[in-house]
Amino acid sequence: MLQITDVSKHYGRKIALDRINLNIETGKIFGLLGPNGAGKTTLIRIITQITAPDSGSIKVSGLHNSLLSQQDIGYLPEERGLYRKMPIIDQAHYFAALKGMKKQEANESIDYWFAKLDMLDWKRKKVEELSKGMQQKVQFALTVLHKPKLLILDEPFTGFDPINAEIIKNEIIGLKNEGTTIILSTHRMESVETLCDEIGLINQGKVIISGEIKSIKNQFSSKSYCVKHRNPLHNNSDYLITHSEEKENYIESIIQLQQPFENNNQLLEKLMTAAEILHFSEIVPSINDIFIHLIKNSAA
């Protein structure tokens, strides 16, 4: 869906983006991650044609970005862009018209999303009359009215309580299931874990790592396992017990592999010959742990 090739951007002597290369597949949710000032917003502004790169290219569905219709893109910026004194329904029609929607099509889409997000009673209200969370809901609805092929969400959960955050999360998943390609820029790593298929981590204008979440987690796996067992385990050439704690009716141990196994089932079979195993699971690093590790190392 989106191919970013050698994209660079400078602001005076400051390098905002340094030869960025990313590929985002159609129908996937891609997490665009990085600390503040990493270059994420600059990249988003280039994708949405708010600004242009100094060098490099962006292609969407094989077309150069400059040939892409803005009707194909939906962009929810971190800094929201609603008119505080304008009735919500008027803003909805205005945003729909900007995306080339005809009146009947716009009405149908407005009714659909306002009903879906329980906003029908707000139509005649002005933005300044709504809470921050209610404003966020309105902004999300106006972003997806025109059924964009590429949806860019910059911190979409800011201001939401847990219930409304879950509602928006489910709507994002629903849009993905309908074939929408989504770029999610957020500092909420738990949202990345539950929503994203792939991620790209940017720091100081450069891509530090990118790829499928599962593959990245495997890359940073420490090959440690949590084992709950009844009989004692002992160190051997296959694994080292790094921590062991006696519970009420079992022992919980952390083991570190000393040599590779073909798969986890093979390791489990080995453990079962030594003790009665009640629980066995690999300790997989979180995206948050990987994020912190990579950013610290890249800054060193």
The Cα–Cα gap between 199 and 107 comes to: 36
Binned at pLDDT 50, 70 and 90, residue 55 comes out as: very high
Each residue's pLDDT tens digit, 69-124: 667 889 998 877 788 899 999 999 999 998 989 999 999 999 999 999 999 988 89
| Contact criterion met (CB below 8 Å) for 296 and 208 | no
Name the amino acid, one letter, at 282: E
In the CATH hierarchy, which top-level class contains the domain 2-217? alpha beta
With a cut of 70, say whether residue 68 has pLDDT above it.
no
Q: What are the tokens at 5?
A: 């090739």
CATH number of 222-283: 3.30.70
pLDDT at 91: 93
Each residue's pLDDT tens digit, 260-293: 888 899 999 999 999 999 999 999 899 999 999 8
Binned at pLDDT 50, 70 and 90, residue 15 comes out as: very high
Binned at pLDDT 50, 70 and 90, residue 65 comes out as: low
pLDDT at 63: 58
219 burial class (0-12, 13-18, 19+ CB within 10 angstroms)?
exposed
Mean pLDDT, rounded, for 38-51: 91
Q: What are the tokens at 33?
A: 């991650």
Place of tokens 């969370």: 133
The Cβ of residue 229 has, within 10 Å, a number of other Cβ atoms equal to 20
The Cα–Cα gap between 184 and 217 comes to: 19
pLDDT at 145: 94
Q: DSSP code of 108?
A: H
Length of the chain equals: 300
The closest of 22, 146, 10 to 75, measured between CA atoms, is 146
The Cα–Cα gap between 142 and 91 comes to: 8
Each residue's pLDDT tens digit, 194-245: 999 999 999 999 999 999 999 999 889 888 999 999 999 999 999 999 999 9
| Contact criterion met (CB below 8 Å) for 80 and 135 | yes
Q: What share of the chain is helix, strand, coil (3-state, %, to 5)?
A: 35, 30, 35
The Cα–Cα gap between 50 and 273 comes to: 63
The Cα–Cα gap between 117 and 107 comes to: 15
The Cα–Cα gap between 87 and 124 comes to: 5
Instruction: Kindly report, as residue ranges, where domains of CATH 3.30.70 are found in the chain.
Output: 222-283
With a cut of 90, say whether residue 49 has pLDDT above it.
no
Each residue's pLDDT tens digit, 169-193: 999 999 999 999 999 998 889 899 9
pLDDT at 64: 62
Q: What are the tokens at 3?
A: 């191919």
pLDDT at 78: 81
pLDDT at 72: 84
The CA-CA-CA angle for residues 221, 225, 231, to 5°, reads: 170
Residue 228 pairs in a beta bridge with 252, 279
Q: pTM (2 decimals)? A: 0.86
Instruction: Kindly report, as residue ranges, where domains of CATH 3.40.50.300 are found in the chain.
Output: 2-217
| Contact criterion met (CB below 8 Å) for 149 and 176 | no
